[in-house]
Homo-oligomer: A and B are copies of this chain.
Amino acid sequence: MAKTNPGRFFEDYSIGQVIDHAVPRTVSGGERALYHALYPSRHALYSSDAFAQACGLPAAPIDDLAAFHVVFGKTVPDVSLNAVANLGYAEGRWLKPVYPGDTLRSSSEVIGLKQNSNGKTGVVYVRTRGMNQRDETVMEYCRWVMVRKHDLDAPAPETVLPDLKSVLAPEDLVIPEGLSFADYDFTLAGEPHRWGDYEVGETIDHVDGVTIEEAEHMMATRLWQNTAKVHFDATFRPDGQRLIYGGHVISMARALSFNGLANAQMIVGLNGGAHANPCFSGDTVKAWTEVLDKAETPAPGVGALRLRLVATKGGAPFELKGEDGKYLPGVLLDLDYWALIPT
């Protein structure tokens, strides 16, 4: 019996199947320090216990995207080891902040299946949940990937396409218990801009850039226990390049967006996302944002912004797609998320 994990193939998934992912992880100040060393992350709520407490939280949580990466990383050996492509995200929600000392595990339910017409691959839709040591769901998201078939003679499953929201409604968003921006300190946060200062359609060039290094993306990706060979083994791809984990680009772009969105503190919803082009070591990542929508929330002083966050490598700001409707070659990421910001 072969002992190593071959990963699941398309025919190994069935609707309703629940996969409990391996290797739970206790996070500490170590994960936080590493996150802040790997990304220029500066949102004050995640940097200072005192700032977080002034906003009604017990302490500074781990950055929302770090929590996402921990939950996501565990799914890789079960969901995307044989994936050809990561096709999309939807209905991502952060439900509970994650604090140092919390232990996270994750679980995925297969909610959609569609074999491709070529008979060699299919699309698998999963809804993944991350749970803490009290069995509270801390976040959840849907993701769909194209996965190879191993047994090409395996019968095609009945096609089931999940009914996923293209955008989370403001009432779908979960505000962390106790959160209040009523006494928000804009000076300590780093910028004066509040919810009312942002207009739908407004675009922001975040100006700063970071040139990507192999050691950094590998350390990040390993920290999330993401095991996909293509990120670590320079002999895996014919071109000798290590493909950078898409989540590394997400975190880099979000951190860069501090410059212009310092007060968009908490990510609470992920509406969708596309990894438009691959990222490699040596690329210089920059970011720009478009304000897509605004909403009020019931929490004191807390508003929500729906933001398009675009990461680029060499592309001009605010250019996204060509005349053919395809992403321009300099675009790395097109992410659609909801963030909380003081009103």
Interface residues of A (CB under 8 A from B): 1, 3-5, 20, 22-26, 28-34, 36-40, 42, 44, 47-51, 60, 77, 100-101, 103, 105, 133, 187-191, 193, 197, 204-211, 213-216, 218-220, 222-223, 225, 227, 229, 232-236, 242, 259-262, 282, 284
A102 → B minimal CB distance (Å): 9
Given A40-B225, A40-B227, A211-B235: A28 touches B28 (CB 8 Å cut-off): yes
Contact with A3, one of B26, B33, B222, B260 (Cβ below 8 angstroms): B260
**Cα distance A299–B253 when bound, in Å?**
50
* Alpha-carbon separation in the docked complex, A196 to B191 (Å): 52
Give CA–CA (A103, B38) in the complex, Å.
20
Name 18 A/B residue pairs within 8 A (Cβ), A-sorted.
Answer: A1-B193, A3-B193, A3-B260, A4-B205, A22-B42, A22-B191, A23-B44, A24-B50, A24-B51, A26-B49, A26-B50, A37-B220, A37-B222, A40-B222, A208-B227, A209-B236, A210-B218, A214-B215
Residue of B nearest to A255 (CB): B222
Q: Are B216 and A22 in contact (CB under 8 A)?
A: no
Copies of this chain, whole number: 3
Known A31-B30, A208-B229: A222·B38 in contact at CB below 8 Å: yes
- Which residue from B37, B48, B282 sits with its C-beta under 8 Å from A34? B37
The contact of A25 among B48, B77, B197, B229, by CB within 8 Å, is B48
Given contacts A4-B205, A37-B223, A191-B3, is CB(A284)–CB(B233) below 8 Å? yes
The answer to whether A233 touches B204 (Cβ under 8 A) is: no
- Report whether B234 and A284 are in contact in the complex, using a CB–CB cutoff of 8 Å: yes
Q: In the docked arrangement, what's the CA distance between A191 and B26, Å?
A: 20
Known: A1-B197, A38-B219, A208-B233. 15 other contacts (CB 8 A): A4-B206, A4-B259, A5-B190, A22-B189, A23-B190, A24-B44, A24-B188, A25-B48, A28-B33, A28-B100, A36-B223, A40-B225, A40-B232, A211-B232, A213-B215
Q: Which residues of B contact A215 (CB under 8 A)?
A: 213-216
* Min distance, Cβ A98 to any Cβ of chain B, angstroms: 14
From known contacts A47-B25, A187-B22, infer whether A34 and B34 are also in contact, taking CB-CB under 8 Å.
Answer: yes
Residues of B within 8 A of A260 (CB): 3-4
- CB-based contact B4/A204 at 8 Å: yes
Docked pose: A107 CA to B306 CA in angstroms: 33
Q: Which listed residue (B36, B44, B204, B211) contacts A222, Cβ 8 A?
A: B36
Tell whether, in the assembled complex, residue B229 and residue A218 are in contact, meaning their CB atoms are under 8 Å apart. no
Q: Is the CB of B26 within 8 A of A225?
A: no
- The one of B20, B42, B209, B261 that contacts A225, using a Cβ cutoff of 8 Å: B42
Minimum CB–CB distance for A28 against chain B, Å: 3
Given the known A-B contacts A30-B28, A33-B28, A37-B223, are A22 and B44 also in contact in the complex, defined by CB atoms under 8 Å? yes
